[in-house]
Structure 1
Amino acid sequence: MKATVVYESMYGNTHSIALAIAEGLGSAGAADVVSAQEATRMDLAGLDLLVVGGPTHAHGMTRAQTRHAAVSDSMSRNKGLTVDPSAKGLGLRDWLDSLGPGAGKAAAFDTRVDMPALLTGHASKSIGKKLKEHGFELVADPESFLVSGDSGLLPGELDRARAWGQTLASTLKDEHRPSS
């Protein structure tokens, strides 16, 4: 199986989740992890699975203004947050808008604050919708991984991400298994 996990990350949480998902996918074959910026130079043809995720800002995917605000906020409040090296690059919304027609299997995830989804929203739902608009078939419901109010991953979320990656890999293995 050939898989790629494309992520956008502000403080490294979504990047860490992307790496954990790729570890889980590794049970079925190699999985690359690339930022949205790096993904602009990729040919997605021939992938068995494309997994895409980013942080939830203002009930959905980030925008240039929310990304800028997140970077500024991390510096202005001395919160001890480290800005992910990819944070100043292209965001998922822009990358997804630049995609041409696609085909194949895909899955969507996000990171969001641990509060009721009604209050936070889910970037993964918008990501999944965009993937479908480009011709991809979602193999799983969009998934959220949770961060605390001070922007740290909650305990157990990396393990949950690895397990989700394993589930995605199993789903694809089952689809490729010859019927008896």
Structure 2
Amino acid sequence: MQVLVVYESMYGNTRHVAEAIAKGIEAGATVKVVAAADAKNENLATYDLVVAGGPTHVHGMSRASTRHGAVEAAEEPDSTLTVEPDAESEGVREWLASLGSATGDAAAFDTRYDGPVLFTGRASKSIAKKLGKAGFTLIADPESFLVDKQTALEAGEEERASQWGRSLVQEKRSRS
């Protein structure tokens, strides 16, 4: 089984989650992890499962203006944030818009503040919807991994992401 994990990350949390998901997937499949800005080069037809995720910005997927805002927040004099090298590159939203028609199985995830979805929003729901519109079959409900108010991953979230990755492989196998 070949799996592609596509992610977008501002401060590294979503990248860490993507890598943890991939670690869980590695137990039962071959996996490749790529940033959304580089995902256009991938032939999705060669993958049995595509997993896509990004940070939640302003209740949904990031856009150029919110990515720029994240970079500006990190540049504030009292900020402890460090941005990823490609933070202002095209993200998951743009990658999904470039897909056209696709087929295969997929899953979606996000990172978001720990709190009620009504207040925090949830990018994974929009990612899943756009994957479905592109023609993918979703094999799992969208999943959120939580960060605290200082934008650090909550304790245990990387392990939970790894477990989720393992569960995706099991679900994919059960459907084959």
Alignment TM-score, normalising by the size of structure 2: 0.98
Q: CA deviation at 1:41?
A: 1.2
User: Which runs of 5 or more residues in structure 2 are unaligned?
Assistant: none
Contact kept? 2:50, 2:106, Cα under 8 Å = yes
Contact kept? 1:101, 1:135, Cα under 8 Å = yes
Q: CA deviation at 1:27?
A: 1.4
Structure 2 residue matching 1:55: 3-state secondary structure = strand
Q: In the alignment, residue 118 of structure 1 is paired with which amino acid?
A: L
Distance 1:122 1:81 in 2: 21
Distance 1:77 1:168 in 2: 42
Contact kept? 1:25, 1:168, Cα under 8 Å = yes
Q: CA deviation at 1:96?
A: 0.6
Q: CA deviation at 1:77?
A: 4.2
State the partner residue of 1:137.
137
Q: In the alignment, residue 100 of structure 1 is paired with which amino acid?
A: G
Contact kept? 2:64, 2:88, Cα under 8 Å = no
Change (3 A) 1:77 1:122: farther
Q: In the alignment, residue 56 of structure 1 is paired with which amino acid?
A: T
Q: CA deviation at 1:78?
A: 3.1
Q: CA deviation at 1:79?
A: 2.1
State the partner residue of 2:93.
93
1:60 and 2:66 correspond:
no
Matched residues, number: 176
State the partner residue of 2:51.
51
Structure 2 residue matching 1:111: 3-state secondary structure = strand
Distance 1:132 1:165 in 2: 19
Distance 2:11 2:152 in 1: 9
Distance 1:77 1:150 in 2: 15
CA RMSD of aligned residues (A): 0.8
User: Deviating runs (4+, > 2 A) in structure 1?
Assistant: none
> How is 1:13-162 mapped onto 2 (pairs within 5 angstroms)?
13-162=13-162
Q: In the alignment, residue 16 of structure 2 is paired with which amino acid?
A: S
Q: In the alignment, residue 162 of structure 2 is paired with which amino acid?
A: R
Percent identity of equivalent pairs: 52
The range that moved more, 8-17 or 37-46, is 37-46
Distance 2:28 2:84 in 1: 28
